Structure 1
């Protein structure tokens, strides 16, 4: 039963839906800002081109510097492998720390989107509507048995009151199968 409980818990948790609604609301909000930004860029094309050219030149100079650093580092590699191993281990630990930090930030962003989505869903829900419940509705039992059951094949293993009242020496009358009665 633990698997079914986990499935029920997973299916009844509205948080992913709230996060999805929050992400949609955030995307809608950002898309509404696009026309204003496009107009601003279109009106200042020449300034934008100059900025882009400056950034490109800056990136190219950084690339040249980085290539020089790499070449310098490769030529001066330490001969001692222990130093390299220690550096690699410290770098790996730094990356694990960064990964944990990013996971925490991702969880925080997910929770913020879920809260935002909950607000969106609550605003869009009519006031007279009932709130979403975590428990599924109870299933009603069948009022009548299915007609596909052959009534003659259904037998009762317990002896009837008539069979119990017969004397032990007399042969018992042939048992007739009892059919189940459907409630009316």
Structure 2
């Protein structure tokens, strides 16, 4: 097979789009990071109350620990379904990203090819000059 065939085969596969979508999602979340850091820094004063909050949550944790095995089974049953949903969402997102990038690349290619075309010469009309009679 030719390289072009292999590339076309790759770019038409769902895993390709899922990876593109996951990458786009990661970029989106990384762009949100500075804002998240600012929010956390503004909550520094809350850390002073952390020891008291930890003691109050310790009692609640015992109750959650007893429920944990049942909850874990429920989440495990739902995990396969959720993983499929996320995979489909990433594939859909990836298709949009790739089609947008492909469209932009096609427009750029068109602009470059138009700029590279030699200018078309326009025919020059000759004007006849008549000799004046003396």
Q: TM-score, normalised by structure 2?
A: 0.55
Change in 2 beyond 3 A, CA 1:62/1:120: same
Q: How does 1:31-110 map to 2 (within 5 A)?
A: 31-47=30-46, 49-50=47-48, 52-53=50-51, 55-64=53-62, 95=73, 98-110=75-87
- The one-character-per-residue Cα deviations of 1:44-67 (angstroms, maximum 9, x if unpaired) are 3102x1564454223311245568
CA contact (8 A) 2:10 2:16 kept: no
Please state how far the C-alpha of 1:21 moved relative to its aligned partner: 0.8
Q: How does 1:25-36 map to 2 (within 5 A)?
A: 25-36=24-35
Q: Unaligned 5+ residue runs, structure 2?
A: 1-8, 110-134
Q: Unaligned 5+ residue runs, structure 1?
A: 1-9, 70-90, 130-184
- The one-character-per-residue Cα deviations of 1:111-136 (angstroms, maximum 9, x if unpaired) are 0000001111111112367xxxxxxx
> Using CA pairs below 8 Å that are at least 6 residues apart, which structure has the higher relative contact order?
2
Does residue 116 (structure 1) correspond to residue 93 (structure 2)? The answer is: yes
Change in 2 beyond 3 A, CA 1:22/1:40: same
More helix by share: 2
Q: TM-score, normalised by structure 1?
A: 0.42
Question: Counterparts of 1:53 and 1:32 in 2: how far apart (Å)?
Answer: 33
Does residue 127 (structure 1) correspond to residue 126 (structure 2)? The answer is: no
Please state how far the C-alpha of 1:26 moved relative to its aligned partner: 0.7
- Computing the radius of gyration from Cα coordinates, the structure with the larger value is 1
